[in-house]
A and B are shown apart, each in its own frame.
Chain A
Amino acid sequence: MQQLRNTPFHERTSALCQPQNWRKWAGYYVVGSYEHTIDREYWAIRNSAALIDVTPLMKYMIKGKDAANLLDRVTTRNIHKMSVGQVYYTAWCDDEGKMIDDGTVARLDETTFRLTSAEPNLRWLMMNAVGFDVHISEVSDSVASLSLQGPNSRSVLKRVCESDVEGLKYFRLMKNKLGGVEVTISRTGYTGDLGYEIWMEAKDALKVWDALMEAGQDYGITPVGILALDMTRVEAGLFMLDVDYTSASHAWIEAQKSSPFELGLDWTVALDKPGYFVGRKALEKEKKEGSSWKMVGIEIDWVGMEALYAEVGLPPQVPGTAVRASMPIMVGNVQVGYASTASWSPLLKKYIALAHLEKPYYELGTDVRMEITVEHHRKHAPAKVVKLPFYEPEWKKK
């Protein structure tokens, strides 16, 4: 039987996790929420500093003369344009231009990169490495990672890091020392807020946790589980593999696959880079012909929803966590798509969703209706296609 594993932070996280609502993430137990309701954790991300154990991310070290060539071949971005210390968000596709996974690539030095992904990709990397002078190793277990997110996150790090993080720009990384331990800090995250991810040897995990918790006390540092994270990533317009799209490597049918254009990642597809990269021909074709559907944000109209609930004598109900379910989206009596994650945004005071809509309904401003269940009856609440992200604080990139 497959056993779920504990992350190197388990000693701390388990002691704090009151409701015991553990979640499975890539073979690990992680905390869903530390408290019985998730409001405090949600607000920590948006108002102070949240400490999130993101160790279950898959991590690969790619080293060697051809490391950049390999990543340039596998991913859709132009890796040769990356400078040392830079991080790219990227998708990677099969040769039909359908997404396999997405993650970040960090250039640690001229010939060393770290790639993160949601699912195992070692075989895919190896398959692509034929003929390249490169060494690929999986470090998912040996490297632990913490995400420190929220407007106070910089202040916390400034207090505890040996080198100043002040100058660390959005999607850049630096080597640093924290709690007496060597770490890498990247200004990245999954919340769309000011935030950092801290990468360390698994054996040093607790030292880093403790140092951050101590330094963060005055800044409202709060251990946060993945349920609150899930709400904020929807606000940030970030999708999730296996929730909002299916990897081409395990889709059952063509229709389940997604291209980066369909997921709104046009900006990550460097069709201007030279030479072959996986999926190039298909992506060029899609770019030319246009995508048949796209993932967009929709905002459900509060007044419209109120009216549907009023019919049965109820005030509008909103879910307490992000809803990962397929919710049909209609125009007239015709289904034109579906939402894959919906969430109440406590900050925006809006019910929002990531939706997959057919052409031409994905255009901004299109009026659609999303299915909701009102007292066990299917209803369609009016909604509108809006720009992503739903929420982007000015301090995110500053």
Chain B
Amino acid sequence: MKTYDTIIIGAGHNGLVAAAYLAKKGKKVLVLERRDMVGGQVVTESFGENFKVDSLHAGGTLRPDIIKHLNLASHGLVVDTVRKPFISLQADSKHLVFDADPAKAAESIKRFSEKDAANWIPFLDFMNKVSRFVHSANAAIMPRLPKGFNASEGMALAKLGINVRMLGGKNMMRIIRGIPMTADEFVDEWFESDIVKAAVASLGLHGFTLGAFGAGTGYTLMHNWANRGGMSHVSVQGGIGKISEALAGAVRLLGGEIRTNAEVKKVVIKDMRASGVVLSNGEEISSGNVISAADPKHTFLSLVGAMELPPEFVWNVQSIKMRGSVAKVHLLTDGKHGIPDGTVVVAPSIKYLEKAYDAAKYHQISEKPYLEVTTSGNVVSIHFQFAAYKLKSGDWKTEGAKVEKIAMDTLAEYFPDLKPSIVNRKVLTPLDLETTYGLTEGDLNHGQLMLDQFMFMRPIPGWSNHRTPIDNLYLCGSGVHGGGGVSGASGRNVVKVLK
């Protein structure tokens, strides 16, 4: 039987980043992916003839140092340098356009508020500092509070402290204050126009089951801003799937192996130590370490099994809030959809966003949803919130049609040419996110990025440093600190803690 230094469960971008770094260190690695393709949520797929699209995450990029270290450009990764505009749709068609050029953006903001326009450049400057903070926080391995804290773990925190301090005392306070704030409060400190505020605040909701008045959406706003490097998505030439393909290319070139259609069923555990995995087809593969890039709930409750884990740990894992509420609707059109290029949002007011979120609270589908729309050629992709994973009535085998209809109706109000242009369509419900993409409860981030589930509390308090109660078993997906979004941070970090 062939054995490996490390087996990585899940070929999402984080799993691939971890694999590439390990392979680079000369380790024998094997990545096992249940789907027939690599990438996890960072994939470009075809849903029919001429219907190829970034299925889930719209555009994105890895942290620049990772792209460089792994030489991903040589594996065909080209990230667009021109940032497209972020457009907030208005009923009168005089949309609010946040152009990548700050002066142009300020010009558009001016129509809504002179003051806000004047504040735009200082705000961008502040958000740049925010991004530095978020990235440096995500690069730090979180100490295990309250237990197990030791000096070496404290170093990472100290370093982070210094980095934050270097942003200047005033900025540091503003960032720290911003974390527990609501997105509404966060933008309220800068802007007066509800339209401007809602457009910016929408970033705080994107991908999360939280409203604009939810504590901690100040943080999620900063998180998404940092990962996007601004408001709009950057696109990848040939689709976001190129990121995953480039990573896979790097893994293979460095001597790593990747197997698709290889679902892990169990982590093999002997005397509280992981020693390999068993696949769904019964095949057993042994290894020195196992890293799971799948979400922590799936990892611990299905792959490891509660029986192998301490009761308090199991209780904490069961309590991880997953709560997916995102659906995706792709429309193949004849090209005459009329939607401008860029990241286009339906987020007309703060209250609108909050009301859209109410649906998630009551286990429903928003009648008036918050939408984020991107186009690539003839395909229109709609990110739909909120569509609760657990529905009060009906189920996701049939309710997809409702999401599709609401999404199309909502957009058609702004773009009357849209409906007649539609040729084909594909909806991905929260249930699809679970069954097709392996996300427990359809949660994109492998657990909500809420205040009680972030930093040293991610995935659960006391286990924030990628380790688990099972020796030689580590975590590296979005469910650990550094994760959430596409950056590769948690995949990069796990390699630092591996024995």
- Which residues of A come within 8 Å of B, CB atoms? 69, 73, 94-95, 124, 127-128, 130-132, 274-276, 278, 280-281
Contact = CB atoms under 8 A, between A and B. Distances in A.
A275 B308 contact: yes
A270 to B, nearest CB: 14
B271 interface: yes
9 contacts: A95-B311, A130-B301, A130-B311, A130-B318, A131-B314, A276-B307, A276-B310, A278-B310, A280-B272
B307 A69 contact: yes
Contacts of A276: 272, 307-310
A128 B311 contact: yes
Interface string B304-337: 0111111111110010000000000000000000
A131 B308 CA distance: 10
A275 B307 CA distance: 9
Contacts of B306: 130-132
A69 B309 CA distance: 13
A127 B305 CA distance: 13
A127 B309 CA distance: 11
B301 A131 contact: yes
Given A276-B272, A281-B272, A127 B315 contact: yes
Contacts of A280: 272
Contacts of A127: 311-312, 314-315
A132 B310 contact: no
A130 B271 contact: no
- Chain B's interface size range is 10 to 19
Contacts of B318: 130
**Which 10 A-B pairs give the minimum distances between C-beta atoms?**
A131-B306, A130-B306, A95-B310, A127-B311, A128-B311, A276-B308, A130-B314, A131-B307, A276-B272, A127-B315
Q: Interface on chain B toward A: helix, strand, loop, or mixed SS?
A: helix
A52 to B, nearest CB: 34
B307 A278 contact: no
Contacts of B311: 95, 124, 127-128, 130, 278
Contact of B312 (A95, A131, A132, A275): A95
B315 A132 contact: no
Given A278-B310, A280-B272, A281-B272, A131 B305 contact: yes
Given A124-B311, A131-B306, A131-B307, A275 B301 contact: no
A65 to B, nearest CB: 13
Contacts of A275: 271-272, 307-308
A274 B308 CA distance: 11
Instruction: Indicate the member of A69, A95, A130, A275 with the most B CB atoms within 10 Å.
Output: A130
A283 to B, nearest CB: 12
Contacts of B310: 95, 276, 278
Contacts of A124: 311
A128 B271 CA distance: 18
A259 to B, nearest CB: 16
B149 to A, nearest CB: 16
Contacts of A128: 311, 314
A130 B309 CA distance: 10
B279 to A, nearest CB: 20
Contacts, number: 41
A132 B314 contact: no
Given A127-B314, A127-B315, A132 B307 contact: yes
A132 B309 CA distance: 12
A95 B316 CA distance: 14
A73 B310 CA distance: 9
Interface in B20-51: none
A276 B273 CA distance: 10
B265 to A, nearest CB: 14
Contacts of A131: 301, 305-307, 314
A69 B307 CA distance: 9
Given A275-B308, A276-B310, 5 more contacts: A131-B301, A131-B307, A275-B271, A276-B308, A278-B311
B301 to A, nearest CB: 7
A99 to B, nearest CB: 15
A124 B315 CA distance: 11
A127 B318 CA distance: 10
Contacts of B271: 274-275
Contacts of B313: 95
A55 to B, nearest CB: 29
A35 to B, nearest CB: 46
Central interface residue in A69, A73, A124, by most chain B CB within 10 Å: A73
A278 B307 CA distance: 10
B146 to A, nearest CB: 13
B195 to A, nearest CB: 48
A278 B314 CA distance: 12
Nearest to A130: B306
Contacts of A281: 272
Interface in B385-400: none
A109 B313 CA distance: 31
A132 B314 CA distance: 13
Nearest to B147: A96
Contacts of A130: 301, 306, 311, 314-315, 318
Contact of B307 (A73, A94, A95, A274): A73
A145 B271 CA distance: 39
A127 B316 CA distance: 10
Contacts of A278: 310-311
A278 B310 CA distance: 6
Contacts of A274: 271
Nearest to A281: B272
A169 to B, nearest CB: 32
A73 B318 CA distance: 18
User: Which of B306, B309, B310, B315 lies at the interface centre, i.e. has the most chain A CB atoms within 10 A of its CB?
Assistant: B310
A278 B308 CA distance: 9
Interface string B454-474: 000000000000000000000
Nearest to A280: B272
B304 to A, nearest CB: 10
Nearest to A132: B307
A131 B304 CA distance: 11
Interface string B277-304: 0000000000000000000000001000
A127 B315 CA distance: 7
Nearest to B305: A131
Contacts of A94: 312
Contacts of B315: 127, 130
Contacts of B307: 69, 73, 131-132, 275-276
A275 B312 CA distance: 18
A177 B305 CA distance: 43
A278 B271 CA distance: 13
Nearest to A131: B306
B309 to A, nearest CB: 7
Interface in B132-183: none
A278 B272 CA distance: 11
A129 B383 CA distance: 39
Nearest to B314: A130
A139 B479 CA distance: 41
A299 to B, nearest CB: 40
B417 to A, nearest CB: 53
A280 B306 CA distance: 15
Contacts of B309: 276
Contacts of B272: 275-276, 280-281
B148 to A, nearest CB: 12
A210 B429 CA distance: 68
Contacts of B301: 130-131
A94 B307 CA distance: 15
A326 to B, nearest CB: 29
A93 to B, nearest CB: 11
Contacts of B305: 131
A282 to B, nearest CB: 10
Nearest to B313: A95
